[in-house]
Chain A
Amino acid sequence: MAYVSMGEAHRRITECLNRFCDAVSYQDSSTLCRLLSFSSNSPSLLSLADALNVFQDASSLIRQSDKFSDYGEILAHLFRSLQSYRVGNLVEAYLAYEKFANAFVQEFRNWESAWALEALYVVCYEVRVLAEKADKELTSNGKSPEKLKAAGSLLMKVFGVLAGKGPKRVGALYVTCQLFKTYFKLGTVNLCRSVIRSIETARIFDFEEFPRRDKVTYMYYTGRLEVFNENFPAADTKLSYALKYCNPNRERNIRMILKYLIPVKLSIGMIPNDELLRNYNLHEYKKIVQALKKGDLRLLRHALQEHEDRFLRSGVYLVLEKLELQVYQRLMKKIYIIQKQSDPARAHQLKLEVIAKTLRWLEIDMDLDEVECIMTILIYKNLVKGYLAHKSKVVVLSKQDPFPKLNGKPVGS
């Protein structure tokens, strides 16, 4: 840490105070943002932090002038947070920042116009990010991480401030998205429901009115929620929206969306081309797509096993697992086609024996009962048209379109 003289420190702090007050009085949101955004690690903030660590009695400076002391609470907490942040004490930094945020929101509530929305965004973002860092620090110290939870309730409070009539309501979706991020991280996804409800049902919100950025983020998260619920059509809609409107230059974001959109599309029978997977480095889906195309059950199972952790963590494992039925369908179709080539007359009769033999070739050991069970399910789910003659152990396929395509509808519908 570079040495800072007392006078220099004093000058820097005073300058910062002046800038803050000017920003507020001129409603200069961008200047305000710069003062609040710790994670930007901007040189001016860092030098201010150094100055604060040298000049310990910043609060007296704040008190000196009426101009500053109007925002005394805000500034004092902000400075304390910055100090702690600078010296790496993230828990302290978070605690002070939380207090600052509370004071800031209180002040924000009093501002008629929404000029400070951007600054509020920064505050919300910083609260969440600081909380995550603080939790990391707590965890490494063997303590229970709880700051993110606290940040969640703080953000919920902010949401309450914004969710009303007036110009500030357009900020609600940003806070909602920060809440989503918090809840997904915490694993308390069910808490999202109340926020979603108010966004989607409250008349004060016109969804198209929100900034596009927030809309995309919102759709991404709600799409993921639909994936959890295995509501594939809805998930498809939302994730497709996100993909369509997201910034095309943000590859990482696109990849994140595709990670969920691909399984959803697969579930409704749509297969991505290899180029897409290659372009966005989604190779973990490559084998699955291949298995679907070939009807290779073994390949699917291997692919699932190979990336089990990743799929479990992202939450698409169960979705991908359900693709098995489609792979069976593909396999049956293959058998059917082969039989058709050799004996067109009896091609529509699939003997369970044959199916079991085929599976054995794929190194999957199943007895007839199990094969019959699978076929029952396939027929029941309408992946195969026909019936199963139990007595003769034969699947009798319909002569018309025995293997109907999904065409965008989920299995079993």
Chain B
Amino acid sequence: MNQGGNTQAIAPLDPNSIEQRYGVDGSQPQISSYQYSTGSDGTSWTANQAVENGNYSNSNYYHPQPTVSTTGNVQEIANTATSGTANVTQDYSGYTTYQAPSDPHSYSNTGYSNYYSGYQQQPSQTAPYQPAAAYQNTGATYQPISSFQNPGSYAGTASYSGTYYNPADYQTTGGYQSTNYNNQTAGGYPTTNYSNQTPASNQGNYTDYTSNPYQNYTPDASNTPSSTIATTAPVHYQQNYQQWPDYYSQTEVPCAPGTEKVSATSAYSQSFPVPGVTSEMPASNGQPAPAYAQPWRLETDSSQPPSQQPGAAVTSTSNDAYWMHQTPSVQAYYPVPPQNHYQSPVETKPVYETTFQGHQRATYPQELNPQTSIHQAPLGYRQPTQTTPSVDTQRVSKVKIPTNPRIASNLPSGFTKMEKDSSAAGATHTPAYVSVSMPKPKHHTTAMPDPGTFPKSLCGFVERAIARCKDDREKASCQAALRKIIKKADADGTLHTQDWDTEPLSTVLNTDVTDTEASSTFISSLQNKSPARRPKSRWEPLSEAKPFVKPASTFSSGVKFGGWNHQNENNKKSSEGFQKADAVTGFKPSYAGQNSAKKSFQRPVKRQRFSGGAGTAIDDEASSDSDKELTPYYSSAMALASSADEKKRRDSRSKRFEKVQGHNRGNDLHKPKNANVGNLHSRRATALRLGRDFDESGSRAVEDIDWDALTVKGTCQEIEKRYLRLTSAPDPSTVRPEDVLEKALLMVQDSQKNYLYKCDQLKSIRQDLTVQRIHNHLTAKVYETHARLALDAGDLPEYNQCLSQLKILYAEGIEGCSLEFAAYSLLYITLHSNNNRELLSSMSRLSEEAKKDEAVRHALSVRAAVTSGNYVMFFRLYKTAPNMNSCLMDLYVEKMRYKAVTFMSRSCRPTIPVSYLVQVLGFASASSEGSDEKETDGMEECSEWLKAHGASLIADDNGDMLLDTKVSSTSLFMPEPEDAVAHGDRNLDVNDFFTSSRTL
């Protein structure tokens, strides 16, 4: 499903990684197989162990993947049956497909299988190892990864991240996972499958292991039992399985992270004893490790296993994921880091379940990315190892020891070295993880003494906080807040001292998603914490290519999951940006993806708000449905999916990221829940964030902002709409589509109402056009209409706005009345702006064709008349003006008349008859709007005008009025315009405004 999609997307991106993974997987599987073998079959394991050694790194890689799967599982577990199953199913689906290829074990199908698969995955991986050796194994390892991804997808954010960042990885992982799942599933469900796996002796054992962890495991174990270890393992497995069920029933919470860890550690230790095998086990399955651990434990110490198992079981899902991560790291690092991971996984599991979902949503992308990156890196490393593993499965036994040590170190068992890193690792590991991840609280990870573990009171606090959430959205934000708080407490060192029981929930519940970033940083910090990684940024690790480094990266990836991250942080404390880690992993694609993941992070939060998040549901006991939804894109899906209207857009948009996010789509579809209202905003936010992220990444330019995503598609059918300047994102329900706007324009043109009404209507039309980014003839028509109306009303500011838009539209090649407006433009410059350079440039821009146009020629003549002061010509042109040219000239009439009278007063002696002035100065044309008086009689008007301007009029013998030029030449003045207003814009006059509002 999603995974598959992801895998596809990923595949192109990271063929290498995939290959590597495969190799890795192979190794991992081997590892798992080793583990299994250790658990189940000593011999096979041993062989495997040898491989494992080689593979270890691989196994580590695997682990990451496994962890992923586990996380998924964890989530599922958290969700319990429903969500878990859903998730599982998804995973399975993906896995199954994969599985099918890799191994016939088709556990895959059931949700259990998923969980199991997660757990089993390792087993299954092992199984694959046996059959397909490297490839299958790789598949297994991949599966783990995929499982991670899946978790992420579950988390929603994870899905996002997956889509964005990790898609490729995911896909690959998915594919891998699927294989793993298959194995796992096979193991879990189909014990038979396991048995199938078992057929391959080692594999069989492995499978058994896997199966053992799951119900299948036991059968497998029985199957595998053939091998010495296997036999023991089977038992363990059975126990484990039992435990698992218990865990399941218990949900994640029940599992004590600590216990899980312990179990894991114990298992490891056990495995250690079985050196090769055990080591393999852990390594191979970070995830499986738990389960394995249990099995192992069972083998080694039945007692431990059980106890651990529960925890493991619970954690197993999460643990698996964690384990996966850890394991990768462990394998690579074998030393402490892995352990840490392991621990963290365990602990995280709980967190994951609860917080994870939330986190995952938010953080998943990042985490996923890291994982992917990690995987890739590991893969590269692993590949060699993997191949060897497959080949060396038998060898493994020898190798196992070394690996084992590492693993052991990781594991509580004792490879001190490893443990050193993880010092807390063994016991602490789990705690650390637990502590980091929210899970602890839920899961009681506190059991472990590890520093990382969260105090019970904190767990209670978290549970209380989550319980208060009414819906997913709240949960998401709550989780984010919790993360923040815990992070802060951890940073302050008050994590264990604070009285969480009395801590007011209000802080949590009121906080918003803003924390996502913090969480991400958290994660990053956690990731960084891994000792190995610290010195080197994640990026560096990638570059380093050392397996260890890779593991670290995987760690980080594991950490990336919100819960994980926290846990990791606690454990590791060294923090680096996830992104960095991702980057380290070396996928550039993943980078972008990561970035997107970050974005998605943010989104998730918001979405959660909007959509009531499926993610939150996941956290607690969300229904499986919600989980399903969450799985892929979850948060993104939430945001995007909501309204059917937007689906298309979302789809098209999501296509952009398909490569990255294979999974998201599915999620989107899942998410009809999202509120329509939220969609627009979320979309915009997404686009903006994307833009930002791109900017941040530096590789993308601003142009890459998806403006389409920001464009509104109107749905309003009202023709009439008042203009209101937007102060927020436009609401599609109040925006009119193009056809309605066309009607609105016609309505305005035919309207008998006054200019202010029309202006208001046209402005709202323009606004709707703008927000919908409509640039066509209609747009030009609207602006032309408005410009003409504005000219008619003498509203120059509005006219200028329209004209500047029209210039742009004409420049885009949109046909309109461009010549008419070129004439207006010329007139405007000539008469009002009085800017010679502007005039020159606009004249020089006129084409030959334009100069032949009547309106343009008229405008040019007017210009000539004005520059030379030829008032006679001006007023003649005034009377013959085409189009609205006279409207623009109106505004200059007063000046021109004054100029003319001034000239004549100075030049003519002794008198000039007013009748001549009436004729020459355009008064006779009757009714010019130039003067404010009524122009029933040109003479009357002219006299009035002359008197108003200080001219001296006398009457001759015939009673005709004459202008006494000599007197007038010194007395002429330009009267203050009567209608002048202080702010300079007559249209803004308060009385006018009242009238207009009344008429409106």
Interface residues of A (CB under 8 A from B): 187, 189, 228-230, 309, 312-313, 315, 317-318, 321-322, 324-325, 369-370, 372-377, 379-380, 387-391, 396
Contacts and interface: CB of A to CB of B under 8 A. Distances in A.
B111 to A, nearest CB: 55
Nearest to B864: A321
Given A228-B836, A373-B920, A390-B916, 9 more contacts: A187-B837, A321-B867, A370-B870, A373-B871, A377-B869, A389-B909, A390-B904, A390-B913, A396-B909
B908 A376 contact: yes
Contact of B909 (A312, A370, A372, A387): A387
Interface of B: 836-837, 839-841, 843-844, 864, 867-873, 900, 902-904, 906-909, 911-913, 916, 920
Given A189-B837, A318-B839, A377 B844 contact: no
A317 B840 contact: yes
B844 A390 contact: no
A140 to B, nearest CB: 18
B867 A379 contact: no
Given A373-B871, A390-B912, A380 B906 contact: yes
Contact of A389 (B844, B870, B908, B913): B908
The 8 A-B residue pairs with the shortest CB-CB distance, nearest first, are: A379-B907, A312-B844, A373-B872, A387-B909, A376-B907, A380-B903, A376-B903, A388-B908
Nearest to A387: B909
B904 A317 contact: no
A315 B837 CA distance: 7
A318 B867 contact: yes
Contact of A317 (B843, B872, B909, B913): B843
Given A318-B840, A324-B868, A390-B908, A377 B903 contact: yes
Nearest to A384: B907
Contacts of A325: 868
A315 B840 CA distance: 6
Contact of B870 (A229, A317, A377, A379): A377
B903 A370 contact: no
Given A321-B864, A322-B867, A373-B872, A380 B836 contact: no
Contact of A229 (B836, B867, B909): B836
A389 B873 CA distance: 20
Highest count of chain B CB atoms <10 Å: which of A229, A315, A324, A373: A373
Contacts of A228: 836-837
Contacts of B843: 312, 317
Contacts of A369: 872, 920
A375 B870 CA distance: 10
Contacts of B841: 187
B879 to A, nearest CB: 13
Nearest to A389: B909
Contacts of A379: 906-907
A377 B873 contact: no
Contacts of A309: 844
B837 to A, nearest CB: 5
Main secondary structure of the interface of A (DSSP, over half): helix
A396 B908 CA distance: 10
Contacts of A370: 870, 872-873
A369 B913 CA distance: 13
Contact of A388 (B864, B907, B916): B907
Contacts of A377: 868-870, 903, 907
A380 B907 contact: yes
A182 to B, nearest CB: 16
A318 B829 CA distance: 14
Contact of A230 (B836, B864, B908): B836
Contacts of B907: 375-377, 379-380, 387-388
B79 to A, nearest CB: 53
B286 to A, nearest CB: 41
A184 to B, nearest CB: 10
A20 B868 CA distance: 61
Contacts of A376: 903-904, 906-908
A321 B843 CA distance: 14
A222 to B, nearest CB: 15
A271 B864 CA distance: 24
Highest count of chain A CB atoms <10 Å: which of B839, B869, B907, B920: B907
A95 to B, nearest CB: 13
A390 B911 contact: yes
7 contacts: A187-B837, A315-B837, A372-B872, A373-B872, A374-B870, A379-B906, A390-B912
A201 to B, nearest CB: 23
A128 to B, nearest CB: 21
Highest count of chain A CB atoms <10 Å: which of B867, B909, B913: B909
A388 B969 CA distance: 14
Nearest to A313: B844
Contacts of B836: 228-230, 315, 318
A370 B870 CA distance: 8
A309 B845 CA distance: 9
A231 to B, nearest CB: 11
A313 B912 CA distance: 42
Contacts of B870: 370, 373-374, 377
Nearest to B873: A370
A321 B839 CA distance: 13
A377 B899 CA distance: 10
Contacts of A187: 837, 841
A379 B902 CA distance: 12
B796 to A, nearest CB: 21
Contacts of B869: 377
Contacts of B868: 321-322, 324-325, 377
Contacts of B840: 312, 315, 317-318
Contacts of B913: 390
Nearest to B842: A312
A390 B960 CA distance: 15
Nearest to B874: A373
A387 B836 CA distance: 32
A324 B870 CA distance: 12
A345 to B, nearest CB: 21
B833 to A, nearest CB: 13
Contacts of B902: 380
Nearest to B844: A312
Contacts of A390: 904, 908, 911-913, 916
Contacts of A315: 836-837, 840
A380 B903 CA distance: 6
A388 B905 CA distance: 10
Nearest to B910: A389
A389 B836 CA distance: 35
A187 B916 CA distance: 45
Contacts of A317: 840, 843
Contacts of A389: 908-909
A189 B913 CA distance: 47
B839 to A, nearest CB: 7
A374 B906 CA distance: 13
Contacts of B873: 370, 373
Contacts of B900: 373
A163 B867 CA distance: 41
Highest count of chain B CB atoms <10 Å: which of A370, A372, A390, A396: A390
Nearest to A371: B872
B123 to A, nearest CB: 50
Contacts of A373: 870-873, 900, 903, 920
Contacts of B837: 187, 189, 228, 315
A271 B909 CA distance: 34
A381 to B, nearest CB: 9
A322 B916 CA distance: 27
Contacts of B872: 369-370, 372-373
A372 B920 CA distance: 11
B807 to A, nearest CB: 15
Contacts of B909: 387-389, 396
A387 B908 CA distance: 5
Contacts of B911: 390-391
